[in-house]
Each structure stands twice: as C-alpha cells, then as structure tokens.
C-alpha cells in the first residue's frame, strides 16, 4: 500500500495538487471526507468539527466562545475528543489497505508506521495571494493586508497543531520527504512531476 | 541552456547529489572549480579564498585575524573583492551557454535571469551526523556534540551570506523550486528522481 500525505501552506494550492496526484496515480483521495466522518461519529455537525479542529489554538476558546470557565473546559474536552476521533478515522483509512492521498491532518505522523511519502507544498506570499483572489467567493471582501494576516494565522494554527501533536516542525524541510514550491508551475505539470517522484521513492523502498 | 543550482545543509549530501544529477543529465558540474577560478584571478591561494568566502561572518574577523583595525578592514575589503570575483566567475560559467549544475555560492540568485532550477538539500541531524562520520578523515576527532555545533555554524554562515546578498531566506521552502530530504533515500535513486523532476520543470517552461 502506498500513502501520500500532503501538508501545505494556506493558499499554496496543496489541496488541488494532492487531488491531481491522486487522479494521475489512481489513488483514493481524502480531504473533507475526514471531517465528515469525524462529524458523523461524534454527532457534531461538520462546520463545528472543522472549526474546532482547525481553530487558532486553545487560548482562543474563551474569546471565541464567550469565556466562562465552563464553556472553555467543555470546548477543550471536545477538541481532544475530536482529535482522537480524527486519528481513528485516518487509521481506518490506512486499514483499508488501498493506495491513497491524504490532505492535511498530520496524517504523515499518525500513519508513520505505514511509511507514507510526505509532501509539503508552499509558495511565496504574492503567489498565494493571487491564488486566493482567483478562487475567492464573490462576497469575499478582505483587503490584501487582511488576507495576508488570515494566511499567517491559519498557517500558525497548523504549525501549532503539528508541533503539539507530533514534535516535528511544520514547514521545515527535514520534516517531509519532499517540499515543492508551486509558484512557477502549471499545476497539472507539477502534479505529474511529483507523482513520478513519489513513485520512484516507493520503488526505491521495495 | 539549463542550469540547476544546489544549496544544501552541511552534511546532507547535497554535493554528491548535485554531482550525480550532473552525471545523469550530462551537464557540466561546478563546485570547487569556482574557488579555484576566484583564487587564480585574485592571486590569493585557494585555501585563503575558501576560508574568506565561507567564514562565519564579518564580526569573526577581528578574533580570527588578530583584531587590529587595520587587519579587520583589510579582510573585509578582500572579502568584498572575492565576492565580486566569485559572482563574475559564476556569470562567466553561465555565459558559456552550456547546461550545468552549480553547487552553493548563491548561484540561483546570481543567475536568476537565466531561470535556473533551484534545489535545496536537507536531512535530519542524525542522518547528517552519520554521513559526516562515514566520510570523515581518519584523524577526525570531533565528538558528536562538536560535530553538531560545527554543522550548525556552517549552516548559519551560509544562511547569513544568503540573507545578506540575496534577501531570500536560506533553507526556507519558498526560496527554492524543490527541497529534498536525503535521509531515507539511496543517493543514486534520489539523483535520478530529482533529475527527472528538474527536466519536467524545464520542459514546462519551454
């Protein structure tokens, strides 16, 4: 079984790249499917699960959710619960024994016994802003400055979660097998190049 | 013309990887040749040129070379002179118009108008220590702790030189097209994978 995990900077196009790699290689693809499964198993709705798992850290809870000790303690407990469920969902995906691409969720660390090929996807800030703008909904009203701040905050949250759960540094080259910069690539060509690279890695280990 | 530049963490095997990529693709290869050319053109000997260009920063001069204002000012002047000569040597290499691999020396920034494919090579600390040990001369007596410190210092010097000369951050994924981790690879297989990846990048731009 071959597993490719994709970590990425917000706006870098990591999700699209992962989907294209899965299509090229004929692998299963998991992204929001993981959130759906966690939601189903926990009884919470998907938006709540996503917000809780992707939020900007423990310390934000009291602000975001009103700030009584009660609500804060409740939220922390359910975050841990959701992280445990998420880990289980990812392990169940691996247990299917089928080749797959998994986006985010620190799947490379959770599944390290399966020796996944771990990819990190980045781009320079200007390229990420262009990408976000091109894909924005019509009612998107963020200024460039706000968008920059949002990108930074989301990446910071991803880094914090990874550091907390895995002890391996988010975005640092030594934490992944391959790090690609999408800035100067056509996504289709990049996906083909990464897919070929990953296949060579799997072959070299067999 | 296709140029591949290789930046690397000390001990990661970036130089060997670069050489193998050049061999696979039939490209010219430049590494210590650059130091030799700078030495020849400046009249200094190679060891002096290498020490001066690779040293641990301006502020080390007074310590290393005695510390009078005179010697410090002299050394700084000759470092600038050597950097200018080195830049010229790298530009002359590009002017030959032949496909090549260039190791280090911030060649990716110096030659950015030639759109080189820029590679950064890293590995985790333990893998780098194993590599250094395996390649050490017999009289090598550094402890692991000293070796770790040496590795850190050399990388810090490389980072400082890059930041100073290029404004692009050393070792950060967004500064390169591709970042590979040599830790779990056979070098030969990795070189083939990177060579294929680079060729796809060049083709996608033509």
Which of A114, A122, A179 would you mutate first to test chain B, the one with the most B CBs within 10 A? A179
Q: What are phi and psi of A12, to 5 degrees?
A: -80, -15
Distance from the Cα of A41 to chain B's closest Cα (Å) equals 36
Q: Report yes or no: B206 at the A interface, CB cutoff 8 Å.
A: no
Contact B174 A200 (CB under 8 A): no
- What are the two backbone dihedrals, phi and then psi, of residue B203, each rounded to the nearest 5 degrees? -65, -40
Chain B residues in contact with A190 (beta carbon < 8 A): 204
Distance CA A146, CA A132 (A): 12
pLDDT of residue A43: 85
Using the structure block, give the residue that is written with the tokens 């004929």: A26
Chain A residues whose CB is inside 8 A of the B179 CB are 120, 173, 178-180
Question: Considering the entire predicted model, what is its pTM?
Answer: 0.87
CB A173 to CB B179 under 8 A? yes
- The arithmetic mean of pLDDT across residues A44-68, rounded, is 61
In this prediction, residues A95-123 reach a mean pLDDT of 96
* pLDDT exceeds cutoff 80 at A68: no
Q: Is the separation of the CB atoms in A151 and A33 below 8 Å?
A: no
**DSSP tag of B168:** S
Interchain CB contacts (distance < 8 Å): A and B = 79
CA of A180 to nearest chain B CA: how many angstroms apart? 5
Q: ipTM > 0.90? A: no
* A177 interfaces chain B, CB cutoff of 8 Å: yes
The answer to whether A192 contacts B201, with C-beta atoms less than 8 Å apart, is no
Chain B interface includes A200 (CB < 8 A): yes
- Tell me the pLDDT tens digit for each residue of A22-53: 999 999 999 999 999 998 888 888 888 888 88
SS3 breakdown of chain B: % helix, strand, coil, rounded to 5? 65, 10, 25
- How many residues in chain B? 206
DSSP type of residue B182: -
Selected residue of B119, B173, B178 to mutate for chain A interface (largest A Cβ count, 10 A): B173
User: Scanning every residue of chain A, which has its alpha carbon at the shortest distance from the alpha carbon of B169?
Assistant: A124
What kind and span of H or E run contains B132? helix B125-135
For residue A81, is pLDDT > 80?
yes
d(CA B51, CA B55): 5
Q: Rounded distance, CA A142 to CA A151, Å?
A: 11
Q: What is the 3-state secondary structure (H, E, C) of chain A?
A: CCEEEEEECCCCCHHHHHHHHHHHHCCEEECHHHHHHHHHHHCCCHHHHHHHHHCCCHHHHHHHCCCCHHHHHHHHHHHHHHHHHHHHHHHHHHHCCCCEEEECCCHHHHCHHHCCEEEEEECCHHHHHHHHHHHCCCCCCCCHHHHHHHHHHHHHHHHHHHHHHHCCCCCCHHHCCEEEECCCCCHHHHHHHHHHHHHHHHHHHC
B124 to A174: CB separation less than 8 angstroms, yes or no? yes
In chain B the domains, ranked by start, together with CATH numbers, are 3-197 (3.40.50.300)
> Which residues 87-146 in chain A show a CB within 8 A of chain B?
120, 122-125
Say how far apart CA B10 and CA B128 lie, in whole Å: 8
- Residue A63 pLDDT: 35
Residue ranges in chain B modelled with pLDDT below 70: 55-77, 139
Contacts of B15 (CB under 8 A, 6+ apart): B6, B8, B31, B103
Which stretch of A17-21, A132-136, B194-198 has the lowest confidence by average pLDDT? A132-136
- Whether the CB of A205 is below 8 Å from some CB of chain B: the reply is yes
Q: Which residues of chain A lie closer than 8 angstroms to B174, CB-CB? A: 122-125, 181, 183
Closest to B173 in 3D by CA, of A131, A39, A127, A200: A127
**C-alpha distance from residue A61 to each of A52, A77, A118, A164, B42 (Å):** 9, 12, 31, 17, 63
List the single residue in B with minimal CA-CA distance to A199.
B193
Instruction: For chain B, say whether A170 makes contact (Cβ under 8 Å).
Output: no
Q: What is the pLDDT of residue B67?
A: 38
């Amino acid at each position: 079984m071959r597993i490719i995990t994709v970590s990425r900077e917000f706006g870098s196009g990591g999700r699209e790249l992962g989907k294209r790699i899965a299509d090229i290689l004929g692998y299963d693809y998991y992204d929001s499917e993981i959130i759906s499964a966690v939601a189903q198993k926990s009884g919470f709705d998907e938006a709540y699960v996503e917000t809780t798992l992707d939020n900007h850290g423990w310390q934000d809870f009291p602000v975001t959710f009103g700030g009584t000790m009660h609500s804060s303690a409740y939220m922390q407990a359910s975050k841990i619960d959701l992280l445990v469920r998420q880990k289980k969902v990812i392990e169940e995906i691996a247990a299917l024994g089928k080749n797959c691409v998994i986006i985010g969720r620190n799947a490379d660390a959770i599944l390290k016994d399966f020796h996944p090929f771990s990819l990190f996807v980045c781009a320079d800030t200007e390229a990420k802003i262009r990408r976000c703008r091109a894909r924005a909904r019509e009612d998107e009203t963020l200024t460039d400055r706000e968008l920059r701040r949002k990108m930074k905050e989301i990446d910071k949250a991803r880094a914090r979660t990874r550091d907390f759960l895995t002890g391996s540094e988010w975005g640092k080259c030594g934490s992944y097998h391959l790090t690609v910069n999408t800035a100067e690539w056509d996504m289709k060509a990049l996906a083909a190049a990464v897919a070929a690279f990953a296949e060579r890695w799997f072959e070299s280990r067999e």
